[in-house]
Structure 1
Amino acid sequence: MERRSFLKMSAALSAAATVSGCNSSSKDADVVPPQPPVGEEKVNWSSCLVNCGSNCPIKVFSRDGVITRVETDHEVEDVYGLHQVRACARGRSLRQRTYAPDRLKRPMKRVGERGDAAGFVPISWEEAVSTIAQKLKEAYAVSPKSVFRSYGSGAYYGFASNANFNRLFNLCGGYLNAYGNYSWAQQMEAAKHTFGTGSTMGSATATLDYSDFFLGIAYNPNEIRQSGSGEGYDFVQALKRNTRLKKMVMIDPRYTDSMLGKEDMWLPIRPGTDAAFAEAVAYVMISSTNWFNSKSKPFIDKYCFGFDYDSVVAQKAELIALADKDTSGKSEHLREYSEALNPEENYRDYILGQGIYSIQRTPEWAEKITGIAADTIKEIADELMGAKAPYIVVGAGVNRQANGEQSMRALYMLSVLTGKLGIEGASNGELPRMTGMGRAGIPTGDNPVKESISFFTWSEAINHGETMTARTHGVRGTDGLDAPLGANIKFIFSASDSSLLNQHAEINNTAQILRDAQDLFVVSCDCWMTPGAKFADIILPDTSWLESNDLVDNSYAAGSLGYLTAMSAAVEPMWECKSMYEIAALIADEMGVGNEFRGEHVTEEAWLDYLYKETVKMTANNGVQPAFPATYKEAQQIGVFRKDMLNRHVALQDFVNDPVGNKLATPTGKIEIASSELAWRAKYWTQEDVTGVKGDTITAIPQYTVTWDGYEDKDTATDYPLQLATYHTKGRTHSSYHNVPWLREAVEDALWMNQVDADEKGLSSGDMVEVYNERGSIEVPVKITPRVAPNVVALGQGAWYLADAKGRTGATGKVIDVGGAVNTLTRYQPSPVAKGNPQLTIRVQIRKA
């Protein structure tokens, strides 16, 4: 059936419904009978590739080139280990998302002001790629460092991914790369400088079944990882198996769906005060002399550096010895690290208020800051000391706060102090390690540009990239601390990426930077007219997942089950949409590197068959059900392949069993309570507190700091008395899926407020309110609930920014965002170590709209 015929049929069906519903006395002959498609129903396997970490397989039904319905996986008996991978509501809404009214249908160029969705006109693919190639060459004439490829996590494809553009740019001369990400930037630095790991090497969730005490801080897998094979599913299954668990404590400003009766204790902590809580627990543990000397100190003495004065002295000597042994030149900074360490700055004295420190980090001290009663803090410390296998896990929300590096390091210390690391059922506070079957991806080649900036500082690099350095902005790959990056960003390629506006901090300021940058050229490749796409110069329409052939794995947080999906397009690419591979190949042709880009495989079909065979080689058939067939086309007919990965990873187990043979990737090879590298950075990097930015400091040991816009920031508390906690909703992954009405109905975008605060402001559920601070205003409805702490309000992140059509301004004079994007209110202030995003530190005021 032709599309025009289908649309006519749809209109006829709508008319029939109208006649039947409005005139019950009409004769049957007056009603237009439904005329369904007459072709055979076709079934294809696709996948939901949104950045939740699961890549759930999706079963797509279609007739005559039209998707009729979507189902989830129910192909096998649902027995844990090789269970069904059931998609959440987001994956099940893919038909609505694919046919969304705001689908991009053809290439477009901007003729109006940046940010105006109506300011675009359609152009041909020839004009689009020709213009892009011309602007790309102009940027290369300035410097390859003027070309920026924002990393884009809106689609976790296999082959037809934004990795194609990395391959393209590497062939053309390279591009300015970015390190870190909006999710984990600060915790990656915290874990690196404590354990020498990347922050996702905690004990597998499945090992929770051996734990006798669980402490979760900002841990919410049942909403964030909610698929039928995600971390949330492993979490629930492990709790069901556990017969040892005595107590489960969850700490969060908001009562989440990961609690719902599973917890024994919910502690609604004030946002940004997690480090103070950790220090008070540590005080009790260290002060319990008999327990500490017999249980904790032996572990610390054997596996750690930097706990007390003598330990820092020994750490300095170890660094000098390592420097003396090194002949490769790779350890050039070890002597400087040693010199930067000060034994008087040690963790024990800091916690107990001894030596150079005057404050004892007691539970009574922490109670005034965190809102958690001192007796409760003591109780948790007692539970940790008495537990044989305490499982501690810290969610990523803590690291997205002002100086989140410090908060994460402070919380990681609790696992160290227990002395129980390396034991099944215990964990070190990091996010759980996940495994998967893996898959081969298109090779991207080497990037000739060695410099990289933090992912978060791209908006600053548009105007100030020339002068950014390692000392001031954490630029990597330069020759020395003060060597400038040397180029401003002139060309941005944004693919599957909402950080161009919506997910970046301080939206109003970011929008102004993009509007004012007249010599900046922006390309957006996406499927929908996102808030960021409105700021592009050229928009390229990508194919949706249901129009794609691909090979995808289970992504990075799918729990203990590994799986691969051989995707096959349910419908042909619609309108003038093209895959990212095709788009990159067209640009490559214009840049004169088309043959090199396509390589020996040339077509998508040939590439996929090659990558499938490479995947089969790297993925042992043992345990894969069903076994892999010979070709990719045969695999597409089967669809889903799964394997029980038997993931029982225990954090730091190898190191604890053999600390000499399995040294950690820290400078000393041990757990560093006092980080020698951070001591060096504190000495040599420019710290923002020098310019009056409260709390943006670097220290060798974990320390609670009073930060800007935090609970103890009295400078902003008067004007903006409420702390705003943001969270991931079940109706979106970041900003993906916001344009699906089904999900907006199912998961309301409302501001959660405690009854105490609502009464003070005279508000009721459903009232529209303006939430504002000096950075902007948003307008959202209120939901009164006991599931959020007093003096704290909560709002799901990821709603799409939408300036009021009438230009209404809010309390601070800025146009009101009626879309409710929380990043209208967040602050651009790169964190001190990671130069990452502190977007969960927000103070606001509220008034009835």
Structure 2
Amino acid sequence: MQKSYRALAGKYARRYMMGINIKQNEPKITRRSFLQWTSALGATAAVYGCGGGDGDGPEEYETPVVPQEEYVMDRELAEVMGTHPHNCGGRCPFKFYVRDYGTPQARVAKLTSAGDIPRENSLEADEDISFVQTRACVRGYAQIKRTYSPDRLKYPLIQTKERGDITGFKRVSWDEALNKVADMVSDVYSRYDSGELPYVPMVAGPPNGLHNIMMFAGMPFMGFAEGAGSALSQYLGPTILPTGAPSFENMLFATIGSVGLMPGLAGGNSVYNYKDSDFIIQWGADPAVKEPNKTFFLTKAKEAGVPIVTIDAQYTDTAAMLSTGFPQYGIPQFIQVRPQTDSAIAVAMAYIIYKNGWHDDTFIKENCYGFYPTQDVGNDSDGNPFPVVEPPTHPGYVMSKLDFSFQTQITPDQHPFADPNLAGQPVHVPKGMSFVEYLDGLGVEKADKLDISNKEDAVVTWASQLSGVDKTTIRNLADAFAHAGDVFLENGNNGGQKTNNGMHSVWMMISLAAMCGHTVKQGGNLGVNSTDTASNP
């Protein structure tokens, strides 16, 4: 039977006061007497804890950690599986405990991540990447706070003042808001129907399913037009077709344009390939913040001794926690570049690799188009003839890329090369447009502009001055990229590809990876964002 805490406290208090009285009659408190009393009090607390007792000695009592029916606070919490709406790539599963589930008063009381639930041999399993327990990060665990934030927009608002004046918003009913949208759609349609406008000024997804695929990548910002509106807009007349997604548009279309449809849309090789890599470059990628589902795999690669380097405009969490540097090649863990100058470094690396013969010539000739000219273009700046490769032949059709199926042929009026009469004819790289001609011309241009006789040094100096990265680091990067083994070049879908000409930046990374054949290596990548599903076939 549990005894009163008051009685136990009284016992200790009486003994303590007795000790003080005794000590007051002594000439002084000795070190020995002090240790005796403090040891006794400590031992008593250790043996009896804060439990009960009647002051007459130790006795059994119930531990407060044993579940007791009368202390259960809420038995009406429903367990509901779900996830969070953050578009981070993880989408970690949650178990939500909901009070008043199924009613308008429903409210999430607590949540746990699926990985919080213990399982047999969980410690051993956690060290294995073959079956990963997906655990949420701090951002995911803040879902309750985010959901019930007092600043969250819960009701439709209509602007009553000038655009941009936040004081002009007033709350309206859902019926009033929907009627307002319907009136606006009706107004623009009538202007199109009367001939005033050449098309309906709405951004809408096509009826081929592209908008459904793009929804996950951030397209819901388009609101009415990119949701139920897409189904309606195709019946109104010509509309504006979105070219991609604000999440990774440039990366998506650079990937489709250069290598075709890849797993995970714009994804390259899988994060499972990190462990097989000899060198990982996180270029403009910060998975520790943006895609925390990848951090476990990077951590395992780091534990396995795989060198990891981050190249970014800011010192990221990935650079701080996961990057190691590559001491063998004198490369630091973090290389800071000026915003939007990453391509200059990649071009300088490509120049070094090509001019030193470090590129994978066999892979390029068998798998790449546009690197070498397909017809005689004369000599390079050193007086040597440019290599020439056989051109591919035209298949007689062009496949549409808009529906991501590559199974729909487009018509000649949609594309000048979609002509069956062209079947079997050679498809030449236009003179002056091959990559080696570009690199050679770049060396001549920078040597003349910077008044540096050595063309390679001129290109590296140009890239260094533009990016702020020292020339030695650029040279070391090129050396490691060509000689370290399988290199996993990951160009994150962050700021670098969300800028003007961002698609060309991504295309440069893809070209750089292809130069050394890393595109199809077990521990390599094609120079874009990795995927957490199947690898590049």
TM-score, normalised by the number of residues in structure 2: 0.63
Identity, % of aligned positions: 23
Give runs of aligned pairs for residues 272-671 of structure 1, distance below 5 A: 272-289=340-357, 291-292=358-359, 296-310=360-374, 318=391, 321-323=394-396, 329=411, 332-333=416-417, 342-353=430-441, 359=447, 360=455, 362-396=459-493, 397-435=495-533, 647=534, 649=535, 651=536, 653=537
| 2:247 paired residue number | 183
CA contact (8 A) 1:274 1:411 kept: no
Q: Does 1:231 align with 2:256?
A: no
Q: How far apart are the structure 2 equivalents of 1:277 and 1:213? A: 18
For residue 86 of structure 1, what is the aligned residue in structure 2? 135
Matched, 1:52 2:88: yes
The CA distance in 2 between the partners of 1:383 and 1:154, in whole Å, is 36
Q: Give yes or no for contact 2:308–2:322 (8 Å, CA) kept in 1.
A: no
Measure the CA separation in 2 of the matches of 1:376 and 1:355.
19
Q: Tell which deviates more after alignment, 329-338 or 83-92.
A: 329-338
- Cα 1:392–1:171 change in 2 (3 A) is same
Which amino acid in 1 is paired with 2:245? Answer: N
Residue in 1 aligned with 2:283? 217
1:429 to partner: Cα distance = 0.5
Q: CA deviation at 1:98?
A: 2.2
SS in structure 2 at match of 1:177: coil
Alpha-carbon deviation of 1:281? Answer: 1.3
User: How many angstroms does 1:204 deviate by?
Assistant: 0.6
C-alpha deviation, 1:76, in angstroms: 5.0
Aligned Cα root-mean-square deviation (Å): 4.0
> Which AA in structure 2 matches 1:395?
G
The equivalent of 1:200 in structure 2 is 266
Q: Any idea what SS the aligned residue of 2:280 has?
A: strand
Q: Which position in structure 1 is the counterpart of 2:109?
A: 68
Report the Cα distance in structure 1 between the residues aligned to 2:374 and 2:237, rounded to whole angstroms: 51
Residue 203 of structure 2 is matched in structure 1 by 148
Contact 1:206–1:238 (CA<8 Å) still a contact in 2?
A: no
Larger Rg: 2
Q: Does 1:163 align with 2:227?
A: yes
CA gap of 1:399–1:414, structure 2 versus 1, over 3 A, is: same
What's the offset of the Cα at 1:363?
2.4
C-alpha spacing 1:181/1:307, structure 2 compared with 1 (3 Å): same
Deviations 1:80-134 (A, max 9, x none): 4443322222222222222222344544444333334443444444433334333
After TM superposition, give the deviation of residue 218 of structure 1 in Å.
Answer: 1.1
Structure-2 separation of matches of 1:61 and 1:112: 42
Contact map agreement 1:350 1:357 (CA 8 A) in 2? no
Equivalent AA in structure 2 for residue 216 of structure 1: Q
- Give me the whole-angstrom Cα distance separating, in 1, the residues matched to 2:89 and 2:203: 25
5 Å-filtered alignment, 1:599-748, equals 647=534, 649=535, 651=536, 653=537
Q: Structure 1 pair 253/130, CA: closer, same or farther in 2 (3 Å)?
A: closer
Q: Gapped runs of 5+ residues in structure 2?
A: 1-71, 101-105, 193-198, 206-210, 326-331, 378-386, 400-408, 448-454
Q: Deviation per CA, 1:601-648, whole angstroms, max 9, x where unpaired?
A: xxxxxxxxxxxxxxxxxxxxxxxxxxxxxxxxxxxxxxxxxxxxxx4x
Change (3 A) 1:370 1:103: closer
| Residues 39 and 172 (structure 1), Cα distance of their counterparts in 2 relative to 1, 3 Å cut | farther
Higher share of residues assigned helix: 2
Displacement of 1:225: 0.8
Greater fraction strand: 1
CA deviation after TM superposition for structure 1 residue 418, in Å: 1.0
- Distance of 1:59 and 1:161 partners within structure 2: 33
CA distance in 2 between counterparts of 1:418 and 1:311 reads 23
Tell me if the contact between 1:316 and 1:338 (Cα under 8 Å) persists in the aligned partners.
no
What residue is the counterpart of 1:496 in the other structure?
Answer: none
Distance, in Å, in 1 between the alignment partners of 2:220 and 2:202 is: 23
> What's the offset of the Cα at 1:340?
9.6
Deviation at residue 300 of structure 1 after TM alignment: 1.5
Shift of the 124–304 alpha-carbon distance from structure 1 to 2, 3 Å rule, reads closer
User: Deviation string for 1:144-181 (max 9, x for gaps)?
Assistant: 62233598766989xx9973443354566685431212
Deviation for aligned residue 1:206? 0.8
CA distance in 1, matches of 2:203, 2:322: 47
TM-score normalized by the length of structure 1: 0.41
Gaps of 5+ in 1: 1-35, 436-646, 654-849
Query: Which structure exhibits the higher relative contact order, with contacts defined as CA atoms closer than 8 Å and separated by 6 or more residues?
Result: 1
Task: Name the CA distance, whole Å, in 2 between partners of 1:233 and 1:281.
Answer: 30
What is the letter of the counterpart of residue 412 of structure 1? I
User: Aligned with 2:482: secondary structure?
Assistant: helix
Stretch deviating more after TM superposition (254-263 or 329-338): 329-338
Judged with a 3 Å threshold, the aligned counterparts in structure 2 of structure 1 residues 312 and 239 are, in CA distance, closer, same or farther, namely: farther
Structure 1 residue 38 displacement after superposition: 6.3
Counterpart AA for 1:376 = T
